[in-house]
Structure 1
Amino acid sequence: MEARHLRYALALAEHQHFGRAAASLGIAQPPLSTQIAALEREVGERLFDRTSRGVLPTAAGEAFLTRARSALAEMRLAQVDAGRAARGETGRLRIGFIGSALLDPLPGVLGRFRRTHPQVRLSLQELDTPTGTAALLAGELDVAVGRGSPRGTGAEDLVTVPIGADHLVAVVSAAHPFAGRPSIDVEQLGREPLVVSPDAASSYLRPVFGPDPAVLDGATMARDIHTIAGLAACCVGVGLGPHRMRLIARDDIRFCDVEPRFRLPDLHMSFRVTDRSPVLAAFLSVVRRNCAEVGSRLDELLARHPSAVADMAGG
């Protein structure tokens, strides 16, 4: 039984005449009669009575037509749903990110994606960079946003693009002697108790202090930039973090640049090279519009995702 058989039966029930039904379907009357007879044989029941008043559904026909209408409606919805899924308008996207990315650029990216793809289910987790990379490689995430390019076993299976540059700043209590200074130097920092994230202390912050990175060994560890800022406000120590930390709105903290300026590893967005999900393609398109730092690398990647290219062309 095919969808056209259901449409033929519904047309015949509507017009109650083989000739008029055939004309509405754009076919000749004999093929319609043949197909209705074949349908009745397949169902095993007479679906229509041929009377002088017209061709009328039997009781079995009425029951069949009710299901036929539902089946055709579901088939139309299935076609619509398939198209929306192919365009990345439905589905799920799992994103892991470090806290500082939620200051910038994720608010613009996620906000725009939510507005343009409201039916996509977003699953968001704040994770440090190593944990996010591991979850991405394990298939537990679709996108990971972290600081620096992923490293280690499996990193070659990921596509990574930069989405934001940053440099190091210090955050102190409004009552701290450094408050109000535009900048402080590394030597001064080395004499202060510090508040940093574990990931930063074990990797990219160590070169800041040159031959004496041991100052980081006694630092207070904080999971994210908001905790770093909060502990600095409590005078626990001088917090160190990315420049985008300045977007934190608190009256009890002050920010100072660190001299000499130290560029932090870029924020990077990573996903699996084998991922051809239309939802991911749509997300990449939004990232492309919102993050100037992605450069030609993401353009090349978008070319591999036709739905994303079409989405970009459309607006």
Structure 2
Amino acid sequence: MEIRHFRYFLEVARQRNFTRAAEQLGIATPTLSRQIQDMEQALGTRLFVRQQREISLTEAGAALVREAEATVRQFELAQRSAQRAGRGDTGHIELGYVASAVYSGVLQKQVQGFSREHPDITLSLHESPMASLPSLIAEGRFDIGYVRSPMNLPEGVEAVRLDAEGFVLALSSDSWLRRLPEISVEHLQNETFILPEQINGTLQVAADGGYAPTLGPQPGGLLAVIALVSLGQGVAVVPESVVGHLSLPNVLYRPIKGSSGSSWLSLIHRRFEKAPAVTRYIERALQAFRRTL
């Protein structure tokens, strides 16, 4: 039997008349009668007692009504669920991000805005090392990632540029640099640079100053970087958005005169993404960002 047999049966049970039921279903009465006969033959029992003007349910038919209604409801629910998932109204997204996406506020705005518009799509959020995020997306373990660009991406993963910002210098409050009215790229020539995951800012500062930088440890996320700065292990070139959002004892933030460097957050995803919920997130994130330009 197919789902149409249950629908035909239920309409006959409601109308108690084959002609009226056939009209409601939009099929010929003989066709409906044959479908019910096929159903009875498959079940090995009669479902209706046929009388001249009206029909009534047998005991087997009455028992089937409840199950047939539940079956049709479940089938229709499955159809609607599949259609909603196909439109991207439901689904699940695995999202990875680096800490600076939080400090900039971009992650909060985009995730919260998307969740308000699509409450039936669930998001699992994971702070992850920036170096591993692109490969996690390429392998399908994450769907979307927020990273700080520029960076090399594996084949099949592309980046969409979001907000850009400059760099500031994080330094210990014990550093001699704090006494300067302004800190230029030349003043940093003999400093040890604690390296964040994105080192382009450090390299650009050194290039602007015309020297090779003394590179210190690269401890991981921005909190670990600032922690080493607070311990007097060196200075660090970090995104401006860190200021006011990441405060540790013994740490100051100062502008860097003569620095032309900048970085930007990027949304990275698989180039030929097919999942409707994921593509909907990407489209919505881009639209939201363009409205802020």
* Structure 1 vs Structure 2 CA RMSD: 3.0
Report the counterpart of residue 55 of structure 2 in structure 1.
55
Query: How far apart are 1:293 and its partner, in Å?
Result: 9.7
8 A Cα contact 2:13 2:56, kept in partner: yes
Following superposition of structure 1 onto structure 2, how do residues 205-284 of structure 1 map, counting pairs within 5 Å?
205-210=202-207, 212-216=211-215, 219-233=216-230, 235-248=232-245, 250=247, 253-284=251-282
Partner residue in 2 for 1:299? none
User: CA separation in 2, counterparts of 1:6 and 1:271?
Assistant: 44
Mean Cα deviation higher: 286-295 or 29-38: 286-295
Normalised to the residue count of structure 1, the TM-score between the two structures is 0.79
Q: Which residue of 2 aligns with 1:24?
A: 24
- Please list every run of 5 or more consecutive structure 2 residues that lacks an aligned counterpart in the other structure: none
User: Which residue of 2 is the match for residue 2 of structure 1?
Assistant: 2
1:287 alignment counterpart: 285
Rounded to whole Å, the distance in 2 between the matches of 1:180 and 1:78 is: 69
Aligned runs of 1:124-135 on 2, under 5 Å? Answer: 124-135=125-136
User: 1:232–1:239: 8 Å Cα contact kept in structure 2?
Assistant: yes
CA 1:212–1:260: 2 relative to 1, 3 Å: same
Matched position secondary structure for 1:205: helix
Aligned residue for 2:255, secondary structure, equals strand
What is the deviation of 1:60?
Answer: 2.0
- CA-to-aligned-CA distance 1:274-314 (integer Å, 9 cap, x gap): 2222112111122112223999xxxxxxxxxxxxxxxxxxx
Q: 1:146 to 1:180 in 2, by over 3 A?
A: farther
Write the deviation string for residues 185-244 of structure 1: whole angstroms up to 9, x where unpaired: 1233344454332x334x55224223543422xx35342223334444555543321111
Q: Tell me which residue corresponds to 2:147.
A: 146
Aligned to 1:167: 166
**2: CA distance, partners of 1:115 / 1:294:** 18
Q: Percent identity?
A: 27
Q: Give the counterpart letter for 1:242 in structure 2.
A: P
Deviation string, structure 1 residues 139-184 (Cα, Å, up to 9, x no partner)? 22222222224426x43x2222211212111234567665697842
The 3-state SS of whatever aligns with 1:196 is: coil
| SS across alignment from 1:221 | coil
Contact kept? 1:167, 1:264, Cα under 8 Å: yes
1:98 to partner: Cα distance: 1.6
Report the 3-state secondary structure (helix = DSSP H, G, I; strand = E; otherwise coil) of the residue aligned with 2:243. Answer: helix
Q: For the residues of structure 2 that align with 1:77 and 1:208, how far apart are their CA atoms?
A: 59
Give the whole-Å Cα distance in 2 for the aligned partners of 1:139 and 1:109.
Answer: 21
Three-state SS of the structure 2 residue aligned to 1:129 is coil
After superposition, the C-alpha distances for 1:42-66 in whole angstroms (9 at most, x for unaligned) are 2222111224794222222233222
Letter in structure 2 aligned against 1:281: T
> Is the CA contact (8 Å cut-off) linking 2:226 and 2:248 kept in structure 1?
no
Residue 18 and residue 250 in structure 1: after superposition, are their counterparts in 2 closer, same or farther (change >3 A)?
Answer: same
Whether the 8 Å CA contact 1:162–1:294 is kept in 2: the answer is no
Q: What's the counterpart of residue 307 of structure 1?
A: none
1:258 aligns to what SS in structure 2?
coil
Count the aligned residue pairs: 289
Give the TM-score normalised by structure 2.
0.84
- Counterpart position of 1:89: 89
Contact 1:161 1:294 (8 Å CA) reproduced: no
One-letter amino acid of the counterpart of residue 283, structure 1: Y
Q: Decide whether aligned partners of structure 1 residues 28 and 229 sit closer, same or farther in structure 2, where only a CA change above 3 A counts.
A: same
**Structure 1 segment 102-121 matched on structure 2, within 5 A:** 102-104=102-104, 105-121=106-122
Rounded to whole Å, the distance in 2 between the matches of 1:10 and 1:43 is: 15
